[in-house]
C-alpha cells in the first residue's frame, strides 16, 4: 500500500490519508515511511474569513497550475462538529470542477477532539501528498483560530484572502494572521471598496514591516472572472524562490520541524492522560467536584500521577 | 488581595486576572481561593463571525442588564499575534460607552502559545469575575476555531450572532457552531436579507433538532438602533431558567467541570514537555532532522522519556 501510494496511486494515497486521519495503529508506520520522501512539494496555505471566496480561488489556482503541467494536492480543512467529530458537508460543495482530473487530488479533513488534534492530521495529510509526488500541495483553512494559525505556519507560502465589504477592517489585525501572511489576496476585486481594502493593507504592511526580508505583496483577483490569477501565480512562485534561498526560509523550515516534534509529543501525552482520566471519571469524581468536596486542581494532579504510573509501567507507549 | 477582590474591589480583581493571565506562580493559589465562590453568575457566551457586530451587541446587552441593576463582567477574547503573544488593539476599540460605570468590568484577553492556552486563562478570568460577585459574565469570542468552541462550551447560555449578507450561508454549519448555540441572534436585522437568514436558520434547527429539550430560538436585533434587545434579554433569561432546572443543564455543568480538569492537566504537561524539549533542542536535534539523520517520531519519544524522568524526580510539579 505504501509503495503504491509513493508511486502515485490515487486509491492508495486516499487509504493512507484515511488511516492517518483516523489515527489507526498503522498511522505512525505510514508517516515514518513517508518522511524520507517529503520536502519536495511547494506547500501553499490559503486562509481567510468565511465568505472570502477561498474555495473558488483555490479552484482557479488549480487550473493555472494544471496548465503548467504540475500535479496538485489539496487539503481543505473544515472545522468540524464538536459532537460528531466529522467534517460537515465539505465534500459535496467543494471544487467540483476538477473532479475528473487525475492530476488533482482534493481531500477534506475535519478537525477532531479538543486535545490539539486538528493540525497534526492535516499536516500529515499534506506530507503524504508531498511524499507521493504532488508538485504543489494547497492547504485551505478558515483563518481565525489558533489551529488555523498552526496550519499556515507549516506552509512554504501563506496567502491571506480578503474581500471588500466584510465590515470591520480591524478584524484582519485582530485575528493575528496579518503577520503570518506572505502575501495578501484581495479577492472579488471587481466589488466596490477593493481599492480601499488594498490601500489599508498596504499601509499596515508599511507600519509593521521591520526592515529586512520579504515585503508582503498585495494582489487583486476575481475568482469569478479569473482576473489577476496569472499574476498571483507568479507572485507565489517568486515567494517560493525567496523561501528556498534565504536565511528566513531556512529558519522557517527549522520551526516547522520543531512544531512537528511538538505535535507528536502532544498527541502521545494526550493518549496517556485521556486514559488515566477515563479511569478516574468512573470513580464519581465529577460528583465530588459538583459538591465542592474536591477541586479541579487536586483532581488534575491525581490524573497526572496516575498517567505517569501508566507511563512508567510501559502500558501506553 | 484575594479578599479585596472577593469583596468586589475592581483594582484587586484586575490584578488577579493579570496574575492568572500571565500564569505567575500565584495563579493556582488564586484560582483555588476563587473556586468555592464560583457558580453564582450567569455566564453568557457571545460568538460570531468577524463583522457580525458582536461587540456593539454586547455593549447594548450590558446597557439592558445595568438598567435592571445587575453587575456585569465581560471577557473579550482576541486571538492574539502568534509572535508577540499579546492581544492586538483590543482595549482601544471596545465598548467604550461603559468605561465610567463601576458596575461594569470589561477585560480583553489574548490567546497565547500553541499548547492549548487560549481557553484556560479565559475561563479562569470568567471564574474570577463570577467569584467576585458579578451577576452576569459575558465571554465574547470570534466563533470559528476550536478554542472558541471550547470557550462557548463553558457558558451557561451561548448566543451565536449572525448577520445578513455575509455570503456563504453554509459557513454557519461548517464552523460546527450550529450545534452548540443555545440561541441565534440575527443582528443588523434592518439590513436586506435578514428574514432570509432567519428562515434558513429556523429550517436548520428543524432539521437537526432531535426531539427533546431546548429548541433554539432565533431573535432579530439591531445593535445600532437597540431594536429587539429587550426580547433577546428575556430569551437569555429564559434559557438560564431552563439550564438551572433541567437534566440537560446538569449534564452541561458536569461536562464543564470535566473540561476544567482536562485543561489543568494539559497545562501542567505542557510545562514539563516544553522544558524537556528546550533541553533537546540545544543538542542540534533540528540539524539532525534537517539532514534526515533522525525523524520527528524518534525525537518525540526522546523528549517524552526525558520529560518523564523530570516528572519522576519531582523537578517540575
Interface contact flag, B296 A264, Cβ < 8 Å: yes
B89 touches chain A (CB under 8 A): yes
- B296, closest residue in chain A (CA to CA): A261
The pLDDT, as a whole number, for residue B312 is: 60
Distance (Å, rounded) from C-alpha A184 to C-alpha A191? 17
Residue B163 grid coordinates: 448577520
Q: Compare A268 and B46 and report the one with higher pLDDT.
A: B46
Window 159-178 of B: residues touching A by CB (8 A cutoff) are 163, 166-168, 170-171, 173-176
Window 284-313 of B: residues touching A by CB (8 A cutoff) are 285-286, 289-290, 292, 295-297, 299-301, 303-304, 307-308, 311-312
The pLDDT, as a whole number, for residue B136 is: 97
Mutate to test the interface with B, among A261, A284, A301 (most CBs of B within 10 A): A261
B258 touches chain A (CB under 8 A): yes
Distance (Å, rounded) from C-alpha B227 to C-alpha B223? 7
A39 DSSP assignment? S
The pLDDT, as a whole number, for residue B78 is: 66
**ipTM computed for the complex:** 0.72
Residue A95 grid coordinates: 471544487
The pLDDT, as a whole number, for residue B272 is: 76
The pLDDT, as a whole number, for residue B181 is: 85
- The label of the residue with cell 471577557 reads B75
Mean pLDDT score, A297-307: 85
Mean pLDDT score, A221-240: 94
Residue B13 grid coordinates: 480583581
Interface contact flag, A168 B311, Cβ < 8 Å: no
Mean pLDDT score, B58-80: 88
**What mean pLDDT is reported for chain A?**
80
Q: Compare A101 and B231 and report the one with higher pLDDT.
A: B231
H or E segment to which residue B108 belongs? strand B104-110
A107 DSSP assignment? E
Interface contact flag, B261 A174, Cβ < 8 Å: no
Interface contact flag, A297 B49, Cβ < 8 Å: no
Query: Which residues touch B307 (CB under 8 Å, ≥6 apart)?
Result: A265, B272, B273, B275, B276, B277
Q: Compare B26 and B175 and report the one with higher pLDDT.
A: B26
CB B149, CB B180: distance < 8 Å: yes
Nearest Cα to Cα of residue B151 among B189, B115, B125, B129: B125
B134 DSSP assignment? -
Q: Compare B239 and A270 and report the one with higher pLDDT.
A: B239
- The label of the residue with cell 508538485 reads A135
The pLDDT, as a whole number, for residue B224 is: 86
Nearest Cα to Cα of residue B287 among A46, A21, A168, A257: A257
Mean pLDDT score, B68-83: 75
Distance (Å, rounded) from C-alpha A91 to C-alpha A78? 10
The pLDDT, as a whole number, for residue A307 is: 78
Banded pLDDT at B317 (limits 50, 70, 90) = very low
How distant is the Cα of B64 from the closest Cα of chain A, in angstroms? 24
How distant is the Cα of A148 from the closest Cα of chain B, in angstroms? 7
The pLDDT, as a whole number, for residue A296 is: 87
For residue B116, the cross-strand partners are none
The pLDDT, as a whole number, for residue B268 is: 79
Mutate to test the interface with B, among A174, A188, A193, A249 (most CBs of B within 10 A): A174
The three-class DSSP label of residue B46 is strand
Domains of chain A, residue spans:
2-245, 262-312
Distance (Å, rounded) from C-alpha B122 to C-alpha B116? 11
Banded pLDDT at B178 (limits 50, 70, 90) = low
Banded pLDDT at A15 (limits 50, 70, 90) = very high
Q: Where are the beta strands (DSSP E) in A133-182?
A: 136-142, 157-162
Quick one: fold of B38-245?
Rossmann fold (3.40.50)
Kindly report the backbone phi and psi dihedral angles of residue A171, in degrees, each rounded to the nearest multiple of 5, phi listed first: -55, -35
Q: How far is CA A309 from CA A29, B113, B268, in A?
A: 26, 28, 16
Interior angle at CA B115, CA B286 and CA B311, nearest 5:
80
- B164, closest residue in chain A (CA to CA): A166
Mean pLDDT score, A116-143: 83
Q: What is the DSSP string of B100-149?
A: T-TTEEEEEEE--TTTTHHHHHHHHHHHHHHHTT-SEEEEEEESSSHHHH
Banded pLDDT at A317 (limits 50, 70, 90) = very low
Mean pLDDT score, B295-304: 86
Distance (Å, rounded) from C-alpha B152 to C-alpha B141? 8
The three-class DSSP label of residue A264 is helix
Banded pLDDT at A119 (limits 50, 70, 90) = low
Distance (Å, rounded) from C-alpha B281 to C-alpha B29? 32
CB burial string B271-305: b at 16+ within 10 A, e below = ebbbebbeebeeeebbeebeeeeebbbbbbebbbe
The pLDDT, as a whole number, for residue A92 is: 38
Best-predicted range by mean pLDDT (A72-86, B1-15, B153-167) = B1-15
**What mean pLDDT is reported for chain B?**
80
pLDDT tens readout for residues A254-284 = 888 888 888 788 777 777 778 778 877 777 8
Window 193-222 of A: residues touching B by CB (8 A cutoff) are none
Banded pLDDT at A57 (limits 50, 70, 90) = very high
CB B132, CB A16: distance < 8 Å: no
How distant is the Cα of A247 from the closest Cα of chain B, in angstroms? 14
The pLDDT, as a whole number, for residue A52 is: 80
Best-predicted range by mean pLDDT (A59-73, A81-95, B133-147, B208-222) = A59-73
Residue A115 has pLDDT above 60, yes or no: no
Exposed, middle or buried, A313 (CB in 10 Å: 0-12/13-18/19+)? Answer: exposed
Instruction: Return the CA Rg of chain B.
Output: 22
Interface contact flag, A258 B36, Cβ < 8 Å: no
Distance (Å, rounded) from C-alpha A290 to C-alpha A311? 30
Quote the distance between the C-alpha of residue B104 and its chain's center: 18
Residue A83 has pLDDT above 80, yes or no: no
Task: Please give the share of chain A, as a percent, with pLDDT higher than 90.
Answer: 32
Task: Please give the share of chain B, as a percent, with pLDDT higher than 90.
Answer: 32
Quote the distance between the C-alpha of residue A114 and its chain's center: 16
Residue A168 has pLDDT above 80, yes or no: no
pTM value? 0.64
Could you say which of A111, A179, A296 has the minimum Cβ distance to residue B261? A296
A149 touches chain B (CB under 8 A): yes
The pLDDT, as a whole number, for residue B177 is: 60
pLDDT tens readout for residues A20-53 = 988 888 988 999 899 889 989 999 999 877 678 8
What residues of chain A lie within 8 A of the CB of B153, using their CB? 82
The pLDDT, as a whole number, for residue A138 is: 94
How distant is the Cα of A258 from the closest Cα of chain B, in angstroms? 7
Mean pLDDT score, A237-253: 89
Window 227-256 of B: residues touching A by CB (8 A cutoff) are 253-254
pLDDT tens readout for residues B305-316 = 887 776 665 544
Interface contact flag, B88 A173, Cβ < 8 Å: yes
- A298, closest residue in chain B (CA to CA): B261
The pLDDT, as a whole number, for residue B112 is: 52
The three-class DSSP label of residue B86 is coil
Mean pLDDT score, A185-198: 89
Banded pLDDT at A130 (limits 50, 70, 90) = very high
Instruction: Return the CA Rg of chain A.
Output: 22
Mean pLDDT score, A120-140: 92
Residue A151 has pLDDT above 80, yes or no: no
- B286, closest residue in chain A (CA to CA): A254
Choose which CATH entry (3.40.50.360, 3.40.50.300, 3.30.420.10, 3.30.565.10) describes domain A2-245. 3.40.50.300
Low-confidence winner among A109-123, A302-316, B34-48, B270-284 (lowest mean pLDDT): A109-123
Mutate to test the interface with A, among B108, B147, B163, B261 (most CBs of A within 10 A): B261
Residue B16 has pLDDT above 90, yes or no: yes
Q: Compare B119 and A31 and report the one with higher pLDDT.
A: A31
Biggest distance spanned by C-alpha atoms of chain A: 67
Distance (Å, rounded) from C-alpha B110 to C-alpha A267? 25
Amino acid at each position: 500500500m505504501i509503495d503504491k501510494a509513493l508511486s502515485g496511486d490515487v486509491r492508495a494515497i486516499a487509504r493512507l490519508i484515511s488511516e492517518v486521519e483516523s489515527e489507526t495503529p498503522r498511522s505512525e508506520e505510514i508517516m515514518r515511511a513517508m518522511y524520507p520522501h517529503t520536502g519536495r512539494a511547494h506547500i501553499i496555505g490559503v486562509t481567510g474569513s468565511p465568505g472570502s471566496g477561498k474555495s473558488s480561488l483555490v479552484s482557479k489556482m488549480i487550473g493555472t497550475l494544471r496548465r503548467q503541467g504540475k500535479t496538485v494536492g489539496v487539503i481543505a480543512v473544515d472545522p468540524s462538529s464538536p459532537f460528531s467529530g466529522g467534517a460537515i458537508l465539505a465534500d459535496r460543495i467543494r471544487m467540483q470542477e476538477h473532479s475528473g482530473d487525475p492530476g488533482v487530488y482534493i481531500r477534506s479533513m475535519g478537525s477532531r477532539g479538543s486535545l490539539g488534534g486538528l493540525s497534526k492530521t492535516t499536516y500529515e495529510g499534506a506530507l503524504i501528498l508531498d511524499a507521493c509526488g504532488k508538485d504543489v500541495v494547497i492547504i485551505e483553512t478558515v483563518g481565525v483560530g489558533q489551529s488555523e494559525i498552526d496550519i499556515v505556519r507549516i506552509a512554504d507560502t501563506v496567502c491571506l484572502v480578503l474581500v471588500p465589504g466584510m465590515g470591520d477592517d480591524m478584524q484582519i489585525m485582530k485575528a493575528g494572521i496579518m503577520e503570518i501572511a506572505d502575501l495578501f489576496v484581495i479577492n472579488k476585486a471587481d466589488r466596490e471598496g477593493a481599492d480601499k481594502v488594498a490601500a489599508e493593507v498596504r499601509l499596515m504592511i508599511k507600519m509593521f514591516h521591520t526592515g529586512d526580508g520579504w515585503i508582503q505583496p498585495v494582489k487583486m483577483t476575481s475568482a469569478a472572472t479569473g482576473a489577476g490569477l496569472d499574476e498571483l501565480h507568479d507572485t507565489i512562485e517568486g515567494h517560493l524562490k525567496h523561501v528556498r534561498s534565504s536565511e528566513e526560509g531556512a529558519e522557517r523550515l527549522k520551526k516547522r520541524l520543531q512544531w512537528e516534534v511538538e505535535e507528536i509529543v502532544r498527541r502521545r501525552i494526550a493518549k496517556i492522560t485521556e486514559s488515566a482520566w477515563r479511569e478516574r471519571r468512573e470513580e464519581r469524581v465529577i460528583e465530588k467536584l459538583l459538591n465542592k468536596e474536591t477541586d479541579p486542581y487536586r483532581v488534575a494532579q491525581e490524573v497526572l500521577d496516575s498517567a505517569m504510573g501508566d507511563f512508567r509501567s510501559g502500558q501506553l507507549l
